[in-house]
Copies of this chain bind each other. A is one copy, B any other.
Amino acid sequence: MVEWPAAPRAVHSRPVDPAPANREAWAALSLRALPSTALVALLRAFGGPEMILAATRAQLSAVVPDAIVARMTAPLATDALTRAHAWLAEPGHHLIAWDDADYPQALLELGHAPPALYYVGRRELLNRPALAIVGSRNATPQGVDNARNFAHALSDAGLTIVSGLALGIDAAAHEGALAGAGSTLAVVGTGLDRVYPARHRDLAHRIAERGGLVSEFPPGTPPREKNFPRRNRLISGLAQGVLVVEAALGSGSLITARCAGEQGRDVFAIPGSIHSPLSKGCHKLIREGAKLVETAQHVLEELGMAVHLGPDTGGPVPDSPLLAALGNDPTDIDALVARTGGTADAVAAELTELEIAGIVARLAGGQWQRRN
């Protein structure tokens, strides 16, 4: 019999590829939405999800309070379980439960992890270093650009970018991550048989192919206002930190940031004009302790993932048109060619000289940045 721990932490003792019976039992159990503590007590008492489902009311009552027994034995909408089983029978559709080696360790460590995640995509992404990027659905064009550029650079640095598939910042974060060398996870608040918002159907398909789509809600779950805060908690829980790009006061992104703080994750925020309502949420976070970031490099530094820039030679920095074109942000050679009018070869040669002189650094993904 499996030895279930007191908390769901580190329960990876079952086979990686569970039998369909086990998977369907987890699906049935997850429909009951039990508190973690009750579920752990039941797993310890009965040994596994199938055995819990087979237990009598009297056997259950010996382990958990009456309210939990009532919740477990109440009639379920029959189509809920049927629909979950039908969805799981499709190729590429997964249910990843606590006892699955691919269940995200980052969630297990929180102690309030959903017992099972519905999943489509590359299973290995669930246990890679990840950063959440979230923000307003009504972002400014500059906010959308910032989200895409940060996500691209951080994806290039090897991070999986987690977001919520919403309009605005979320979509730009997913797109930027897919354009980079890394990947992306979309955590949604509906069943995975639905795409919300509908106009993100194409984006969701690309994420399913090259990244992953995650939901704790069974197939058939429509968009419900009350489910989105739970979704936000999962976004921050899957990541080492949360970057808020643009957010109004009182917006859902601030809930995600608060979850991140409670979960011990880093919170990063991009500042903006004091006259922009969409920067006020970010400024509030910074005033409360979030780290102000201007570049992807700032995020990587805080996460302890900064590219080593080599020893500083300390010499005078030459004043060249290329350095002026480089500015202070990570930039790729194409952009430098466009800005300086030089050839790609000439730009690359000068960059290499500047790198040897310790003035610029080569970042992951072919980007360059001036050293400060």
Contacts and interface: CB of A to CB of B under 8 A. Distances in A.
Interface in A245-285: 249, 270-275, 277, 279-280, 283
A292 interface: yes
A274 B286 contact: no
A233 interface: no
Contacts of A215: none
A235 to B, nearest CB: 23
A251 to B, nearest CB: 14
Among A249, A279, A283, A298, max chain B CB count under 10 A is at: A283
A146 interface: yes
A308 interface: no
Contacts of A274: 146, 270-272, 294-295
Among A142, A273, A286, A298, max chain B CB count under 10 A is at: A273
A273 B328 contact: no
Nearest to A279: B271
A277 B329 CA distance: 11
A152 interface: no
A291 interface: yes
A306 to B, nearest CB: 14
A308 to B, nearest CB: 20
A169 to B, nearest CB: 15
Contact of A287 (B275, B277, B279, B291): B291
A326 B271 CA distance: 22
A138 B294 CA distance: 21
A275 B271 CA distance: 10
A274 B149 CA distance: 12
Interface in A282-336: 283, 286-287, 291-292, 294-295, 298, 328-329
Among A271, A286, A294, max chain B CB count under 10 A is at: A271
Interface string A211-231: 000000000000000000000
B273 A142 contact: yes
Nearest to A250: B372
Contact of A283 (B271, B273, B275, B277): B271
14 contacts: A142-B273, A146-B274, A249-B328, A270-B274, A271-B272, A271-B273, A271-B279, A271-B283, A271-B286, A272-B273, A283-B292, A283-B294, A287-B292, A292-B292
The 10 lowest CB-CB distance pairs between A and B, nearest first, are: A271-B271, A274-B294, A286-B292, A287-B292, A283-B294, A283-B292, A272-B273, A270-B274, A271-B283, A273-B273
